[in-house]
Structure 1
Amino acid sequence: MLPRFKAAAVHAAPVFLDRQATTEKAVAIMREAAKAGAELVAFPETYIPAFPVWAALWAPIDNHDFFVRMAEHSVLADGPEVARICAEARALGIMVSIGISERSPVSAGGLWNSNLLIGEDGEILVHHRKLVPTFYEKLIWSSGDGAGLKVADTRIGRIGGLICGENTNPLARYALMAQGEQVHISSWPPMWPTRRPSGGGNFNNVAANRIRASAHCFEAKVFGIVTAGYMDAAMRDELIARDRTIADVIDQTPRAASFFVDPTGEVVGDLLQDDEGIAYAEIDLNRCVEPKQFHDVVGYYNRFDIFDLSINRTRLTPAKFHDDAPSAASTTPTPADAVTPGAMQKPEGSSGR
């Protein structure tokens, strides 16, 4: 029998651009979810310290101060905020997926949109950096790499995840399917403004996220945890205080939803959209088996003699340094290489004169 467990999708706002306070709020949410019986708790995209929705609202030349604050409150993957989350996961005996704005250790303004999967022992199982920031996110974050395209084999199943628009990337999704993924976590922002209300046709992220989650779960025959951010009154007030003309944009942009999807693509468990809280669902991985009879795209329902996918999971770095000087042994000729003075080999046929 495959594992059964309770999962939690966190539908909550950060303490806007405050990494320490948001970390403590995350710890409180973890405790609440663990008390409710959740063994896996998933937080939204860049929960610490916030999602940079301002990049959609004003021109880049007006947002320098927000970027500076974002950089200041972004966190190192091995920094104290992440260590706090890891320690709490270990203390509670739960697994945690959390989005962070990750700060580069070698660049004061270098940031990545990252997600960490933390085991019940407090160890980081997967550290993923978003492959390509989406649309106006490019004004905030650098592109990531393939090092985090990994599925963690855990006590409760094989867990993978992608961030926001990556869930529209078929090859990234297939990379996780090909590792036997059974639970897929997708993390999202609280809203996604694309037009002013007068322009009509604003992006419906609830419908889009449902399509993407259902498509992946149906194709992979996995359970999906969809965890989206939430804009609380404090975040809204701070943005509108800067420019009251964007109130309509914020208020008329659809809010994201957090929910769960089963291996047939159907929504199951709780759904949260307009209220902050924690959504729960019972996950039974045995339900992933039967649908594999119909389509198993990493098994019999594929042609590996026709299709060939190669994935580079090298962690990118800004430079490679070679500091070690050659050792004496490496510069001393071996006997086979040694040449006795005056004993240079003569060309064939030479008389030596």
Structure 2
Amino acid sequence: MSSLPRVRVAAVHAAPVLLDKTATTEKAVDLIEEAARHGAHVIAFPETYIPAFPVWAALWAPIHNHDLFETMVENSVAVPGPEVARIAAAARRLGVCVSLGISERSTVSAGCIWNSNLLIGEDGTLLNHHRKLVPTFYEKLVWASGDGQGLRVADTRFGRIGGLICGENTNPLARFALMAQGEQIHVSSWPPMWPTRQPAEGGNFDNVAANRIRAAAHAFEAKAFGIVCASFMDQAMRDFLVDRDPKVAEIVDQTPRGVSMFVDPTGAAVGDMLQAHEGIAYADFDLNRCIEPKQFHDVVGYYNRFDVFSLGVERRRHEPVAWSGAEQPAFARLLDDEQPPTMRNGATSP
């Protein structure tokens, strides 16, 4: 007898409107609507879909990228904020769960950003907010390190959903932390490309093969389904990079493009796969298929030795300062009849 849901899932294999958070948010809403029309219950977006993945950090030294960093910060989004609210409203209106990759802007620093992923429920609530634990390789030139607060699995009507960002799927402890919460659907989000070498040097990191291996390994170990969602480099993004420096054309053109696909609890591919073309990939998950493989090896159940191994996870959100003592009182008006100052846009301040 079936006891777990059957779920239609979607991986949005799409390019952002490069470094434009407002336009990319509107594109994301359109894609959510399209996926919902095709029956998707869970819709996943790529790594930092809003506003883009900073490929340029791999191509040029940081002394040449100050303007791009400033633009990236300006188009990173706050949580909560208007862009997230727009996505949440669409999820609620359509009754779908959305996994969304964003570059997140700090409220206490003008230049601190994180590589983050949000899981938004079908009622528009924020089910999980994860910041990438460690930016990988050249990503350290862009993003700050995250923390363990987002190492959580959300119990939804469509199954128990967790996720990790890009290279985090190489971290066995982070993956086990999600397995140990009964994860049934694992979302892994990825960039459109990940260059590591000049083509003439050979041996460029095979991101496509690596992502397949990591997704299949996690699915097999967790006995869970996997959504692999990579971004897409469209012509506008390619031209932006090459027009800035024609010498990078060979690197950009010969680095493997990301793949969006799905895997079942055995690690086998299921559903659609997209790489060369922008679009939405779909698959149908019968979560009852997560049960039988647990008989073989359940690493969070009988197939472990908790008397031998133990894992502790610190979930506190990192903050720059811990305050103590009474709150400071609000400043009183200097004059009883003082009028509230006018803001530049004509509105009055609170």
TM interval, short-chain normalised: over 0.9
Query: Any gaps of 5 or more consecutive residues in structure 1?
Result: 327-353
Kindly, what percent of the aligned residue pairs are identical? 72
TM-score by length of 1: 0.92
* Structure 2 partner of 1:119: 121
Tell me the CA shift for residue 325 of structure 1. 7.3
Distance in 1 (alpha carbons) for counterparts of 2:16 and 2:282: 20
* Structure 2 partner of 1:288: 290
Distance in 1 (alpha carbons) for counterparts of 2:326 and 2:61: 47
Tell me the CA shift for residue 77 of structure 1. 1.0
Instruction: State how many pairs are aligned.
Output: 326
Distance in 2 (alpha carbons) for counterparts of 1:255 and 1:294: 35
The one of 243, 246, 256 aligned to 2:258 = 256
1:15-55 superposed Cα distances (whole Å, 9 cap, x missing partner): 00000000000000000000000000000000000000000
SS at match of 1:236: helix
Give the 5 Å matches for 1:195-274: 195-274=197-276
Distance in 1 (alpha carbons) for counterparts of 2:164 and 2:7: 21
The amino acid across from 1:51 in the alignment is F
* Structure 1 partner of 2:134: 132
* Structure 1 partner of 2:100: 98
The amino acid across from 1:45 in the alignment is E
Tell me the CA shift for residue 321 of structure 1. 1.5
Distance in 2 (alpha carbons) for counterparts of 1:323 and 1:227: 46
The one of 26, 32, 35 aligned to 1:33 = 35
* Structure 1 partner of 2:155: 153
* Structure 1 partner of 2:60: 58
Q: State yes or no: 1:178 paired with 2:180.
A: yes
RMSD of Structure 2 on Structure 1 (CA): 0.9
Q: State yes or no: 1:302 paired with 2:301.
A: no
1:299-345 superposed Cα distances (whole Å, 9 cap, x missing partner): 0000000111111111111111124179xxxxxxxxxxxxxxxxxxx
Tell me the CA shift for residue 112 of structure 1. 0.3
Distance in 2 (alpha carbons) for counterparts of 1:279 and 1:6: 11
Against the structure 1 CA distance between its residues 325 and 313, is the aligned structure 2 distance closer, same or farther, given a 3 Å change threshold? Answer: closer
SS at match of 1:186: strand
Give the 5 Å matches for 1:11-50: 11-50=13-52
1:78-130 superposed Cα distances (whole Å, 9 cap, x missing partner): 01000100011000110000000000001110000000000000000000000
Distance in 1 (alpha carbons) for counterparts of 2:312 and 2:212: 29
Distance in 2 (alpha carbons) for counterparts of 1:39 and 1:2: 14
Q: State yes or no: 1:315 paired with 2:296.
A: no
SS at match of 2:28: helix
The amino acid across from 1:249 in the alignment is I
1:197-220 superposed Cα distances (whole Å, 9 cap, x missing partner): 101111111100000000000000
Distance in 2 (alpha carbons) for counterparts of 1:194 and 1:186: 20
1:229-278 superposed Cα distances (whole Å, 9 cap, x missing partner): 10000011111110001000000000010000000000100000000000
1:126-172 superposed Cα distances (whole Å, 9 cap, x missing partner): 00000000000000000000000000000011000000000000000
Distance in 1 (alpha carbons) for counterparts of 2:310 and 2:68: 43
The one of 273, 276, 279 aligned to 1:277 = 279
* Structure 2 partner of 1:110: 112
Structure whose alpha-carbon radius of gyration is higher: 1
The amino acid across from 1:86 in the alignment is A
Off by >6 Å, runs of 4+ in structure 1: none
Query: Any gaps of 5 or more consecutive residues in structure 2?
Result: 329-350
